[in-house]
Structure 1
Amino acid sequence: MAYANHRIAKRNNLTRYENLSLQFLFIYHLLFTWIFTSFLNSHGGDAIKYWNLVADASQEAQTWMQYWGNRTFFIQWLNYLPSKFAGLNFWAGNMLYALCSFLGFRILFIYLIKNSHKDLAISWKGFLLWILLFPNIHFWTSGVGKEALLFTAACYALIGFTAIHKHYLQISLAILLAWWVRPVFGAALIPVFYFALYQSSAFKKSHKILISALVTAILLYFTYQLTIMMHLEAYDFKGLQDFISSQFLFLENFQATSEIPMGQYNLFEKLIALFFRPFWHEINGFWYFAAAVENTTFLLLLIFAFYKSIRNNASQIPPALIYGVLYGLILASLLIFSMNNLGIIMRMKSTYMIFLYITAAFIIIPNDKESNI
């Protein structure tokens, strides 16, 4: 992988500093594989169950193809050959998933570098790299689990949206992967695709309508399948409310110490809880501390980005980051009505918050008309 990083950096005309930064990002990410493995071995978790193929045994599968399915079944299907057939241990499985998720980091890093203006100072490039080093996403994507696949799928889809006519196969595979791993994440990419399609100048209007009709037909089928998975009995507002209530009740039955009363919050309180909890007084262990630091940093990034925007000298945001913000906001709007467990929220938002962080950072960095000092 390190050699592949070097070759890809050279192919994309990255400088020596940028090449070294990519390799540092790779080593840093792999370090979290050790952290993830140690943490799960000490505290337990879904990742171990995924690797041992016991997270969901309702299929009573005995052979590889009997594990086939979506969501947890798909993860167990992926794990069957390396875990059960090849006999690799949990650490090796985490390494495989970490390598997979690094593909997302690599394509995102290269996209950011290529879309920064050529005279950007090294210190500001280091600033962008620092954003990519936030620990929450590295922790959750460095081991066996859905987040590693979802993050890579999102990166390939969002960057693919910048040139749909060239990357239609990449986009299709990325959306299908996201859908198969966690359907709502795949579904959230579809509205972003529509937005990118109508922003594109590579298609005639008639072609856009035809493509939209085809994608809409596929989306309707996926949506129908999603409602079956969700056991949504009525397709009206009351049916949706009943589902939200049942989802909150289901999570409350676990009696987790990190439960949040989202059902009692107004919309503003829900958004604050999603984006900025845990608060500093809620810190309970290192990962809550890291999350609190990350949330505070995001708040500061937003303040500086807003200040620079009102001064009308914000840097132009690359298209993929705009798509990433839209994707993140769609998912955030879904999570606030379906999740009331802080631990699950922290894990789920790790795969999309990075796009909001980077977008805020990109607004802050000097544009091509400003001094780099």
Structure 2
Amino acid sequence: MLGALVLMLALFVINQMMYSTFSKKHKFFSKKLMNTLFLYHLFFFIVYYTYALFNNSDSRLYYSRPQYGAWGEYFGTSTTFIDFMSWPFINVLGFNYEMMMVLYAWFGYIGFLYAYLFFRENIPIKLKVFKLDFLILVLFLPNMHFWTASLGKGAPIFMGLMMFAYAIKEPKSRWFTLILASVLIYYIRPHVFLFVAAGTVLGYMTGKEKIAFWKKMLIYIGMIGSLIMVQDTILGMAGLDESENLVQGFEDFSEDRGGELAKSGSGVDMVDYPLPVKLFTFWFRPLFFDAPGMLGLIVSVENLIYLLLFIRILKKDFLKFLKKSPVTVKMSLTVFFLASLAMSFVMSNLGIIMRQKSMVMYFLFFVIYYYLAQKKYDRIVMLKKRKNKILKSRELGVS
């Protein structure tokens, strides 16, 4: 455990250097908040590590597998790529299990760091919900930290998604972050890269901003070209690479996958659910009535928060807002909805649902936050106009 403590201190120092860089780029950046968030995330590393000591955890397999082959043998997509990432740390630097857990927990924290940058850079207006600062609330949601604080896919895929969301705003100056994020997303979860690419293209096609033609072309060529290059891998993940009917093939895959996952103790038979119920299940369950164990009860509280936040966009003016919304909002909503749609067809296990949705919920939070902030901004502008009108009428009356 001594090695893990030393690594924590080393990563804390690295964090301070990153904070200094971001503080120069963004005036809003708060080192105090990010240090607090880092300590909070480390607490969930301890919680998950304790949980793994007494329960079956995939993190043990992720640590043992890279020790039995050469580095090049592990290069590939999905689980294999996590082994590829871990190999030099385990076999060259000599990281033990605890140190690898700390390293991947730090990857998860970097995801929260970029989520903070993504939200604050695009939404400068502060907003309160449930008498709490909106951004603080979503940054400190426990379930998000629990599933991104261990050795496995959860931490690096979340890091990749949030890095991508931050970098896509300025692809020219943030090209390295954008490419690194794209590589991580594709090699860890190829199908999620499909959703991200589709969301990005749609966002740039329909966003309200006047974007330079070269920038649009760069995004279109980059995203569409990437999809063409990796289409076989993406289809192969679902066994559709040789299918003559992709729709029927996906339906068969969904039924088979859903049936397998439903066999576990926390399974729910979602195969015959209508689409709205499938989406509701993926987004907001477990709730208190179907929570699997103590962890499920804790997650139910968080799911209730998700539901209450989601209700806030079920307004008549939301579609009008969406039509005029910027690239980041349309991209976020597309990624969230496409990922939810695909995963709701294949996920039939509440435990896996709790883990998987942590990848994409921040895209929903961003849309909700932007919508509520826009409404607040519109109210402020309207009140200022009324105030100026009253002042002008008074001035005319005096004169």
What range describes the TM-score normalised by the shorter chain of this pair? 0.7 to 0.9
After superposition, residues 273-284 of structure 1 pair within 5 angstroms as 273-284=281-292
The C-alpha deviation readout for 1:232-270, integer Å capped at 9, x for no partner, is 242313222222222223434xx3111111112111221
CA apart distance, 1:211:
5.7
**Residue aligning to 2:261:** 251
CA apart distance, 1:152:
1.1
Which structure 1 segments of 5+ residues have no match?
none
- Contact between 2:118 and 2:162, CA under 8 Å: does it hold in 1? no
**Residue aligning to 2:270:** 262
Matched, 1:49 2:57: no
1:212 aligns with one of 208, 220, 240: 220
After superposition, residues 125-204 of structure 1 pair within 5 angstroms as 126-198=133-205, 199=207, 201-204=210-213
Matched, 1:235 2:244: yes
**Residue aligning to 2:304:** 296
After superposition, residues 6-25 of structure 1 pair within 5 angstroms as 6-8=19-21, 10-14=23-27, 18-25=30-37
- Contact between 2:28 and 2:120, CA under 8 Å: does it hold in 1? no
**Residue aligning to 1:364:** 372
2:87 aligns with one of 80, 84, 93: 80
The C-alpha deviation readout for 1:322-369, integer Å capped at 9, x for no partner, is 422221111001011222122112111111112212432443357346
Matched, 1:110 2:123: no
Q: Name the SS for the 2:34 alignment partner.
A: helix
The C-alpha deviation readout for 1:50-87, integer Å capped at 9, x for no partner, is 01117xx9xxx522222222211111121122224433
Take 1:348 and 1:32, find their aligned partners in 2: how far apart are those partners? Answer: 17
**Residue aligning to 2:105:** 98
Matched, 1:26 2:38: yes
Take 2:22 and 2:225, find their aligned partners in 1: how far apart are those partners? Answer: 39
Take 1:271 and 1:88, find their aligned partners in 2: how far apart are those partners? Answer: 40
Take 2:315 and 2:248, find their aligned partners in 1: how far apart are those partners? Answer: 42
- Contact between 1:108 and 1:155, CA under 8 Å: does it hold in 2? yes
CA apart distance, 1:283:
2.2
CA apart distance, 1:119:
7.6
Matched, 1:337 2:350: no
- Contact between 2:201 and 2:219, CA under 8 Å: does it hold in 1? no
Q: Name the SS for the 2:59 alignment partner.
A: helix
Matched, 1:355 2:369: no
CA apart distance, 1:20:
1.7
Q: What is the RMSD computed on CA atoms of the aligned residues?
A: 3.2
The C-alpha deviation readout for 1:270-311, integer Å capped at 9, x for no partner, is 11211111121122333212221111111211233445957x
Matched, 1:39 2:51: yes
Distance 1:328 1:27, change over 3 A: same
- Contact between 2:202 and 2:330, CA under 8 Å: does it hold in 1? no
After superposition, residues 314-325 of structure 1 pair within 5 angstroms as 319-325=327-333
Distance 1:203 1:317, change over 3 A: closer
Take 1:81 and 1:209, find their aligned partners in 2: how far apart are those partners? Answer: 37
Take 1:186 and 1:14, find their aligned partners in 2: how far apart are those partners? Answer: 31
- Larger radius of gyration between Structure 1 and Structure 2: 2
- Contact between 1:5 and 1:22, CA under 8 Å: does it hold in 2? no
CA apart distance, 1:192:
1.5
- Contact between 1:301 and 1:361, CA under 8 Å: does it hold in 2? no
- Contact between 1:189 and 1:327, CA under 8 Å: does it hold in 2? yes
Take 1:128 and 1:160, find their aligned partners in 2: how far apart are those partners? Answer: 19
Matched, 1:67 2:74: yes
- Contact between 1:244 and 1:337, CA under 8 Å: does it hold in 2? yes
